[in-house]
């Protein structure tokens, strides 16, 4: 392991450079990282990478899910709960069933149980890939909310299908009432355990004498405790992390200080940046080893099977998207739906095309046991290879074409009449007006006596005036930025010149200048 440490350091450096390149050429970085990993694996002397599924499930998955649950809006999640749940559960099940029947019919040696095993592996779209692509194009908020919400839940549903299929392959039978009871416990138990662990950690944050560093360390431990506790009790670790993360996200202003929230965001962005990059790079690096494990099936035939399954996934998701629209249009006659208007053909087409596969699919495939009842697990290597082909094809085909598709067809944002920039300016004006009004109404006496409060009112009123005049706002920003840079240079020069000056104090005020510079983004 120590011999390969320089290799992994070089890998992280390569990931950083490739993500920078992806941003420059406007390509989703998961696509570039998978292809780069595949190319790097052919370089002579490169260490053979073996991905341990427990490494992904235990080390990578909990923090990535936890970060995603903190980022999503609970309001949007609840608003679009019906379509999110239909995509995350019903569509995933229908997709797995479609793959099962196609694999059973076209791939020799595949039983229905093995088909469902493959279907459970490849059915969940990857959240990171879709999110990376949507950064380059503007889509309505409702669409991004649906995709984010679906990605939080579909991993859980697909892994549940995978577990049941694995049992069916091993025992040769499927007892529906036992499966139903297990399914209910996995869902209810997972959600309940996540909420319980989240509540305990929230109490710990509030009752213990924590500071910024211990707050951040506790947030690292939280998703792992949720996941491990749920898995040990044979429920869904994914649902535990998602439900607990959503709970704590909505309570963050109750148990975390502003400093902990500010620094915690920066920490988690950096952590997930590295984890996501490593996962997609490892997918490409591991493909040659998986190819070498193919026995009895030619490479061309195996690729054909992968293309077939990919086609089933793409067509099935698009049909499901249009089916969800039809169901909504029918349901609006009987119940209150989030939006009774017809979305047309564009929105379902884009939703259907956002089906890139990724880390969870590979981890599930790798977790298939090597043996079954003393004999090699049937079709294990072929399932692994098909999974890799599905990941590669969906990332390349859908990942590269999705931005063009969104720009080409154009999707209007029917929820917001103002642009995002105009909405932000309006919100800032309203916040400033509310602050000044509250100060004048409730602290009129103090306002007459305290010069600081008078300056505060003048500052807010000045900001309100600058929002009306963008040119004046830009001039003030430029001048203030120049003043901050001047203070920063003066501090650094003084620190270098005076050897006895307390550098911790200097760093404190350098951080203050950085925060002031950050505030300029909200002017």
Cα 183 to Cα 45, 80, 157, 235: the distances in Å are 46, 23, 9, 8
Could you tell me what percent of the chain has a pLDDT over 90?
15
Please determine, for residue 416, whether its predicted confidence score (pLDDT) is greater than 60. no
Q: Which has the higher per-residue pLDDT, 68 or 230? A: 230
Q: What is the pLDDT of residues 78-133, one digit of tens each?
A: 888 888 888 888 888 889 999 999 999 999 888 898 999 999 999 988 777 776 76
- pLDDT value of position 189: 93
* Contact (CB, 8 A) for 103 and 118: yes
DSSP 8-state code for residue 372? E
Domains (range + CATH), the chain: 5-51+80-208+276-409 (1.20.1530.20), 420-522 (no CATH)
Tokens of 173: 């039978």
Position 332 confidence tier, pLDDT thresholds 50, 70, 90: low
Percent of residues, the chain, with pLDDT higher than 70: 85
Examine the pLDDT at 11 and tell me if it is beyond 60: yes
Give residue-wise pLDDT tens across range 152-184.
888 888 888 888 888 888 777 666 666 678 788
Mean pLDDT to the nearest integer, 472-487: 77
Average pLDDT, the chain: 82
Q: What is the pLDDT of residues 28-54, one digit of tens each?
A: 788 888 888 888 888 887 777 776 767
pLDDT range class, residue 471, cuts 50, 70, 90 = low
366-396 residue pLDDT tens: 888 877 777 888 888 889 889 988 988 988 8
Contact 187, 164 (CB under 8 A): no
Mean pLDDT is highest, among 309-313, 397-401, 464-468, 501-505, for 309-313
Report yes or no: 353 and 395 within 8 Å, Cβ to Cβ.
no
Question: Which band of pLDDT confidence, cut at 50, 70 and 90, is reported for residue 323?
Answer: confident
Residue 62 CA to residue 368 CA, distance in Å, equals: 20
Say if CB 46 and CB 284 are below 8 A apart.
no
Distance in angstroms (rounded) separating the CA atoms of residues 130 and 144: 9
To 5 degrees, how large is the angle CA 165–CA 168–CA 169? 90
- Please tell me the pTM assigned to this model: 0.80
pLDDT band at 339 (very low <50, low <70, confident <90, very high): low
Cα of first residue to Cα of last residue in the chain, in angstroms, is 50
Q: Which residues of 225-253 are buried (b: 16+ CB within 10 A; e: fewer)?
A: bbbebbbeeebbbbbbbbbbbbbbbeeee
Q: Does residue 429 have a pLDDT over 70?
A: yes
């Amino acid at each position: 392991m120590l011999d390969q440490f320089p290799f992994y350091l070089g890998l992280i450096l390569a990931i950083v450079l490739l993500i920078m390149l992806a941003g420059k050429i406007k390509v989703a970085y998961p696509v570039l990282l998978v292809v780069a990993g595949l190319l790097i694996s052919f370089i002579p002397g490169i260490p053979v990478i073996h991905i341990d599924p427990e490494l992904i499930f235990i080390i990578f998955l909990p923090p990535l899910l936890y970060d995603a649950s903190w980022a999503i809006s609970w309001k949007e999640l609840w608003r679009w709960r019906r379509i999110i749940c239909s995509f995350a559960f019903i569509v995933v099940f229908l997709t797995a069933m479609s793959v099962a029947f196609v694999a059973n019919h076209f791939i020799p040696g595949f039983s229905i149980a093995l088909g469902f095993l493959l279907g459970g592996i490849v059915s969940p779209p990857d959240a990171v890939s879709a999110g990376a692509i949507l950064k380059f194009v503007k889509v309505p908020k409702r669409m991004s909310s649906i995709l984010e919400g679906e990605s939080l839940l579909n991993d859980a549903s697909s892994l549940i299908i995978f577990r049941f299929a694995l049992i069916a392959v091993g025992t040769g039978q499927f007892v529906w009432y036992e499966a139903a009871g297990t399914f209910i416990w996995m869902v209810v138990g997972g959600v309940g355990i996540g909420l319980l662990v989240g509540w305990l950690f929230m109490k710990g944050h509030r009752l213990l004498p924590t500071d910024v560093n211990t707050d951040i360390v506790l947030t690292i431990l939280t998703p792992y405790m949720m996941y491990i506790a749920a898995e040990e009790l044979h429920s869904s670790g994914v649902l535990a992390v998602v439900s607990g993360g959503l709970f704590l996200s909505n309570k963050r202003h109750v148990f975390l200080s502003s400093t902990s929230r500010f620094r915690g965001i920066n920490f988690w962005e950096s952590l997930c940046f590295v984890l996501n990059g490593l996962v997609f790079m490892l997918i490409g690096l591991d493909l040659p080893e998986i190819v070498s494990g193919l026995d009895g099936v030619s490479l061309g035939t195996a690729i054909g099977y992968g293309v077939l399954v990919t086609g089933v996934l793409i067509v099935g998701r698009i049909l499901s998207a249009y089916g969800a629209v039809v169901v909504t249009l029918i349901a609006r006659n009987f119940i209150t739906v989030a939006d009774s208007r017809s979305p047309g053909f564009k929105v379902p087409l884009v939703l259907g095309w956002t089906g890139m596969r990724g880390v969870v699919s590979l981890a599930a495939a790798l977790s298939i046991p090597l043996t079954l009842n003393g004999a090699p697990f049937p079709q294990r290597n072929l399932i692994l290879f098909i999974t890799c082909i599905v990941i590669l094809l969906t990332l390349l085909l859908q990942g590269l074409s999705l931005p063009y598709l969104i720009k080409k067809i154009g999707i209007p944002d029917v929820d917001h009449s103002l642009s995002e920039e105009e909405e932000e300016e309006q919100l800032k004006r309203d916040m400033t007006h509310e602050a000044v009004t509250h100060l004048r109404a409730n602290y009129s006496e103090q306002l007459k006596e305290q010069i600081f409060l008078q300056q505060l009112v003048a500052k807010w009123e000045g900001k309100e005036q600058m929002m009306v005049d963008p040119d004046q706002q830009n001039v003030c920003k430029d001048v203030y930025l120049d003043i901050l840079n001047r203070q920063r240079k003066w501090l650094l020069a003084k620190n270098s010149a005076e050897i006895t000056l307390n550098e911790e104090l200097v760093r404190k005020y350098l951080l203050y200048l950085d925060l002031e510079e950050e505030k300029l983004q909200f002017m």
